[in-house]
Amino acid sequence: MLITGASGFLGWHLCRLAQAQWQVYGTYHTHPMQRPRMTLLSLDLRDYAAMRELFHRLRPDAVIHTAAQSHPNWCQRHPKAAAAINVIAAWNLAGLCADLAIPCVFTSTDLVFDGLHPPYAETDAVCPISFYGEQKVAAELGMRSRHPGVAIGRMPIMYGVAPSAPSFLQPLLANLEAGHPISLFTDEFRTPVSGLTAAHGLLIALNQLQGVIHLGGRERLSRYEFGCLLLEVLQRPLTQLQACRQQDIPMPAPRPPDVSLNSQRAFDLGYHPLSVREELLQLGLNATSGTDLP
């Protein structure tokens, strides 16, 4: 299996999980890493010739594409640079997979929706409001036109601990350890899952389907509600948490208010996220940086 973005948050969890069944090759670009029993390869996915040479040399049996520029504000400021990795590289990768007639899974996002009509099922029309969301929609469409067998996993916001890439959890833990209050939105709703759970979902998508699948959690939570659960797990006072509103904080990228995913299709295929509280407990967090289960 070839996994792009192996040094990223989701890619790291996916490599860890896939090693039980696959010989894993992972690509990275700016963040080199090492992992036992896995081959890591430096690759700029924007370099089509280099990517084509890698495919011809490895001849992978399957590809999961997690690499992306996934910061909406950066994409909003630098749409052309972001599109080079988020759109063009994804299209090229799908074409190379089609040439080898191998399965390919692409990681998209819940931000392909405008947040006005949740929860969103796979059959709902996409309607992004940011450049990042637009780029993911363009990647979905272009990849499927080049390789109809592509499976697209739309991912929710994810949390957890990876040695090479933080999730949104790490800044919260650092502020708590420093004794600083944390401010979280009460008006942005998602269906969060841990990185490891999301990786399980991608392997289900690889093995069982083509087309689109939503890999959200079972709970619709605001960031503020997530923070309350985190403080409960860490046994910290709720006084360290402050409520704020997304609409009161100007950001370059527009943010949809509620992109909760209806993931019943995935549940029916064996995707079983635990509750957020249960997953936070399983992470064995401390308030400095967190630890992950072996």
- pLDDT exceeds 70 at position 49: yes
Q: How confident is the model at residue 30 (pLDDT cuts 50, 70, 90)?
A: confident
| Domain boundaries, given as residue ranges, for the chain | 2-161+192-219+260-274
> Is 138:87 a contact under the CB 8 Å cutoff?
yes
Backbone φ, ψ for residue 247 (5° rounding): -65, -15
Q: What does the pLDDT look like over 203-243, one tens digit per residue?
A: 999 988 789 999 999 999 999 999 999 999 999 999 999 99
Q: Which amino acid is at 259?
A: V
Encoding tokens for residue 135? Answer: 């780029």
Q: CA-to-CA distance for 91 and 108, rounded, in angstroms?
A: 13
Q: Which amino acid is at 5?
A: G
- 64 contact partners, CB below 8 Å, separation of at least 6: 1, 2, 3, 4, 14, 18, 104, 105, 107, 202, 206
* In this structure, CATH architecture of domain 2-161+192-219+260-274: 3-Layer(aba) Sandwich (3.40)
Q: What does the pLDDT look like over 137-195, one tens digit per residue?
A: 999 999 999 999 999 999 999 999 888 788 889 999 999 989 999 999 999 999 999 99
